[in-house]
Chain A
């Protein structure tokens, strides 16, 4: 595996490192990795398609999902207050974090309070987004991933390459070698069943002993004060049942108003993500252990994270970004993601959704290059279960990343205009001038066709993979004129 690795003892880094292109090229040059991603994406695409045999049914379900997410967002601040009031009434403590550092402080503080040096984690992309593991290590604490894929990725000192299937870039032989090397007392075996049983044994001990469990949240229901969790393995239930303290972390956009809003979103989520009609477990958590109950955590906390979501919310054109239910279908169907995989992006969320959400979290300075990594084929928008217009948002973000002076009428995005290059800006002003003035245009067309022999053979990035652009002998206008004169 030659994709970039992040050692878990390295300092935190919220920004994607430079070198998106070189990371992409590394993956493209690795036939093994390319085959892994291609195979996995084909598998996920087929499984999703099998769940939606009737296009009319699919569209009806998408319409409901979209309507529910749009409705929830339209009332977001009110729903967050209602959620907080009901969670608090149920005995779940609510914390708010504007940025990753605040989320880290809140969680580290809770662990100190519980006198727990270690937490076991269910799968949570928001915890990746706020670099929780690194922050805890820096404070002398630690976090153990318990989702099988995340556990593998953590053992290898890497990051998840897919939001649903984190270890999709690794073969069973690589995992077998990793376990034999890193798990004490384990011999090499490439039987998937045995590998999973090794993970099960190691992690069960940890579930039993550890005082703090962390989970993400798939949906938070305001009217009842309920946190919903979708999973297949049971590690999410372990993390939220066995330890004394359960900390849930999620983005502020995950709230819906009513219980009845959950089933359509759940049906879309599991079918779009892994092609399952339902997952093994769907867990509705509404309270810590009550008096007379014999199990469950004694304390439950929810950390609500902003981290740039309010920026996307404030502008109508970018608000739909927050409709996302994190199914990963956009990456499974993306021709770019399928070829370069999730690690090349360098951001927590890869693929099309990563390209439209990361700029709000990290600013366009660091992510401006990512929004250009799309052929705009539209596959992501077509499969999105809640109809986020991803291609349109990509075009908007491209324009924002290169826009000129501040526009007094709309709030600025973080890093707006940071990818503006004077030469390119000049080239496009000239282009626009040319097309607005017929005289100049004719002169340009005449000289370009007459001096076509002077067109350079080396045209930079264009000729790296294509034949050079050389003007035709005659312009279209000339050809039409000749024909008319015949």
Chain B
């Protein structure tokens, strides 16, 4: 810590003022789940809830077809006119895509952002990520930043395509926090995404693609993504 003398005396003064009159500590509040009345539900119910919430937030949710999610991804790219797709630095061997014959040109987020800025900001049409899990009740994807999957991949390109294993669905946020045990080891950046970027700052009129992706496409699979 590089505390200047000024901030260290500020620290002491602030803490001293807060402690000048002892405040009796209150008992620890118990946090119950209140937002959803769902409780534990079969995957199908959670999937429906996630889908309808994400769609209400202007995201597209697609079930991977029988030919597998790679074919679905290719079709999505074709439909959306995506010519360049950026993948994480590395995908688990069972999930790797490249090389493929059809579909957009692939690149990987395999350099520090400083070297990739130009392609990330100006050339790549879409970023592809794997969701860690999701929250049904609010229609929220949970992404973890890691050396393999940099956080700007889900932020900077104009389209974000995300693969989600529906068996990794939690009912609501408190349940997700409790079951995923993030508190014991928080990633650098844990990102909850509930739709494409949007704003209503001009006359309360909703507009998409404010600073982040203009569209969010979620492909649902039943396959281990770890």
Interface residues of A (CB under 8 A from B): 39-40, 43, 57, 60-61, 64, 67-68, 70-71, 73-77, 80-81, 88, 90, 93-98, 102, 105-106, 109, 146-149, 152, 165-168, 170-172, 175, 192-193, 195-197, 199-200, 203-204, 207-208, 223-226, 232-235, 237-238, 241-242, 252, 257-264, 266-267, 274, 277-290, 292-296, 304, 306, 310, 313-314, 316, 319
Contacts and interface: CB of A to CB of B under 8 A. Distances in A.
B194 interface: yes
A170 B202 CA distance: 8
B18 A71 contact: no
15 contacts: A71-B26, A96-B11, A149-B199, A165-B204, A166-B201, A192-B203, A196-B199, A207-B211, A226-B186, A257-B28, A261-B31, A287-B188, A289-B188, A314-B20, A316-B23
Contacts of A306: 10, 14, 17
Contact of A242 (B18, B57, B152, B191): B152
Given A171-B203, A259-B177, A286-B188, A232 B183 contact: no
A280 B198 contact: yes
B3, B146, B190, B196 interface centre (most CB from chain A within 10 Å): B190
Contact of A278 (B138, B174, B183, B202): B138
Interface stretch (B70-78, B98-106, B109-117, B217-225): B109-117
Nearest to B216: A280
B7 A203 contact: no
Contacts of A93: 1-2
B161 interface: no
A175 B202 contact: yes
Interface string B180-218: 001100111111111111111111110101111100000
Given A98-B10, A280-B193, A280-B198, 19 more contacts: A64-B32, A71-B26, A172-B203, A200-B209, A207-B211, A224-B182, A233-B197, A237-B211, A238-B211, A266-B173, A280-B197, A281-B194, A286-B189, A293-B147, A296-B151, A306-B10, A306-B17, A314-B20, A314-B21
Interface string B144-156: 0111001110011
B113 A71 contact: no
A13 B53 CA distance: 45
A94 B189 contact: no
A373 B25 CA distance: 35
Contacts of A88: 1
Contacts of B183: 223-224, 258-260
Contact of A295 (B6, B10, B53, B113): B113
B93 interface: no
B35 interface: yes
A74 B139 CA distance: 34
B15 A232 contact: no
Contacts of B194: 278-282
Given A60-B34, A241-B155, A314-B21, A294 B109 contact: yes
Contacts of B173: 263, 266-267
A64 B31 CA distance: 7
A21 B48 CA distance: 54
B29 interface: yes
B25, B137, B182, B191 interface centre (most CB from chain A within 10 Å): B191
B27 A165 contact: no
A95 B210 CA distance: 32
A407 B151 CA distance: 56
B28 to A, nearest CB: 7
B18 A313 contact: yes
Contacts of A292: 147
A147 B201 contact: yes
Contacts of B10: 96-98, 102, 306
Interface string B100-139: 0000000001111100110001000000000000000111
A234 B211 contact: yes
A30 B147 CA distance: 55
Given A193-B207, A226-B186, A237-B155, A293 B146 contact: yes
The 4 closest A-B pairs by CB, nearest first: A234-B212, A149-B201, A233-B210, A310-B17
A105 B4 CA distance: 11
A68 B31 CA distance: 9
A310 B31 contact: no
Contact of B57 (A106, A165, A259, A280): A280
A279 B151 CA distance: 18
B9 to A, nearest CB: 9
B6 A233 contact: no
A300 to B, nearest CB: 10
A202 to B, nearest CB: 11
B28 A263 contact: no
B24 interface: yes
A173 B8 CA distance: 49
Contact of B7 (A97, A252, A259, A278): A97
Contacts of A175: 202
Contacts of A279: 194
Given A234-B211, A242-B113, A295-B152, A286 B187 contact: yes
Contacts of B14: 80, 96, 98, 252, 304, 306, 310
Given A280-B197, A286-B189, A75 B25 contact: yes
A232 B117 contact: no
A152 B201 contact: yes
Contacts of A200: 209-211
Given A264-B31, A310-B18, A196 B210 contact: yes
Nearest to B13: A98
B209 A295 contact: no
A224 B185 CA distance: 8
A94 B4 CA distance: 11
A335 to B, nearest CB: 20
